[in-house]
Amino acid sequence: MAEFDQAARFAVKLDPVGFLRWLLPGLDTDLIFTRWLETQTIPFPGQPDRRCDTVAELAHASGAAPNWMLILELQTEPHPDIVARLLEYMARARRELRYGPHGRDKYLAALAVINLTGPAPHSALEMTLPGSTGVVFHCQARGLSFAQENAGQTLAAIRAGQTARCLLPWIPLMQGGDRAETVAVWKELAEQEPEHHLRSIYAGLALVFADLANCLIVWKQGLEGWNMRKSRIVEEWREEGRIEGRVEGRVEGRVEAFQGILLRLLQKRFPGASSPEVAAVVQTQTNADELMRWLELLDSVESLEAFRTAINA
C-alpha cells in the first residue's frame, strides 16, 4: 500500500489551496494556507517515531488570531482507531511546533482524515464522566471517503470553476469513476490545464488510483494515446509496481520520475532562481524514498537556499 500512500501525499501537495478549499468548504475566508509543517515529531525515549502524512499551517490574513495547524491523515483503508492516533499525534505536534518571530507561539489544532477506499471514517470521539461532574471530552475531525464522493458531480464542479483541477487525480476513486464516459469528461477538463507537466502528473496519478479502485483497465483504455507520448513522467508512473499489477516496480524508472518531478516543481516553487548544486544532488540521488521526502519537504521551505541546506547540497 506504500505506493498509494505516497501518491496521495504527493497529490494533496500539487495545489494545497485548491485541495483545502474542497476539503473544508466552510472554512473562514480569513484563514489562508501558508506552508506545510515538518511532520516528524520527537518520540519519547524507547517509543517509535510518529509521522503524520500532512500538516498544513493556516494563518489569519488579518493577523487577528493565532495560527492553526490542520493535521490531515490519508489512509488507503479505514482504521478503527484513527481519531485516537490523530489525537496522539496532535498532542505531540502542538507541544513541539511553534511559530512567530521568536518561535514561541502555540498553534491551535484541527484534524481531518480521508479514506481512499471504504466508508467514511469514524471522525468523532466523545466521553462524558458519569454524574454531574461536568467532565466531558469531545473531538470532531473532518472525515470523508473518496469512495462516497460522486465523480460526475465533482467533474461538473471543476467545469464550473467551483472546484480546483487538483481533484482530477482522485476521480477514479469516486462513485462513477469506473465508467468510460467519466474518463472522457476527465480528459476534456484535464486538457484545460495550461501547464503541460501537470496534465501528465494528473494522468499518472489517476492511473495509480484507478489501480487501487480496480478500474485500471477502463482508465488505461480511456487514456490511451492521450498526452502519453508527450512526457516520460506518465510512463514512469506506469512502471510503479502496483500500476502494472506487480509487487515490485522498476526502481530505476521510479527514481528518474521523482527526480524529474522534483526538478520541475523546484522551478515552479522558486521561479527565476537556480542552483546547479541542488540539481546535481537531485540527479545523483538514487533512493526513491529520500526523493519522496524531498518532494514533501519542498512546500515547507521558504527559499531555494533553505531547500539546498536541508538536502545538504
Give the pLDDT confidence of 139-181 residue by residue, as tens digits.
999 999 999 999 999 999 999 999 999 999 999 999 999 999 9
Q: Residue 232: pLDDT above 50?
A: no
Note the pLDDT of residue 238.
45
- Following CA atoms 101, 35, 22, 29 in sequence, which dihedral angle do they give, to the nearest 10 degrees? 30
* Biggest CA pair distance of the chain: 69
d(CA 228, CA 81): 41
Domain range summary for the chain, segments of one domain joined by +: 2-147, 150-249, 255-313
DSSP strand pairing (108-115 vs 142-145): parallel
End-to-end CA, the chain? 31
Q: According to the model, what pLDDT value does residue 303 have? A: 84
By C-alpha distance, which of 128, 129, 115 is closest to 78? 115
Comparing 38-47, 87-96, 145-154, 212-221, the range with the smallest average pLDDT is: 38-47
Q: Mean pLDDT lowest for which of 27-31, 187-191, 266-270?
A: 266-270
The DSSP code sequence of 92-109 is HHHHH-EETTTT-EEPEE
Mean pLDDT of the region 118-134: 91
**291 or 232, which is more confident:** 291
- Higher-pLDDT residue of 273 and 98 is 98
pLDDT of residue 230: 39
The pLDDT value recorded for residue 127 is 93
Whether 72 shows a pLDDT value over 90: the answer reads yes
* Residue 255 in this model has a pLDDT that exceeds 80: no
Residue 286 has what pLDDT? 81
Those residues with Cβ within 8 angstroms of residue 308's Cβ, 6 or more apart along the chain or in another chain: 275, 277, 278
Average pLDDT over residues 54-62: 92
Query: Is pLDDT of 248 > 80?
Result: no
Least confident of 7-16, 163-172, 259-268: 259-268
The domain made up of 2-147 has a fold known as Trna Endonuclease; Chain: A, domain 1 (3.40.1350)
49, 39 contact by CB (below 8 A):
no
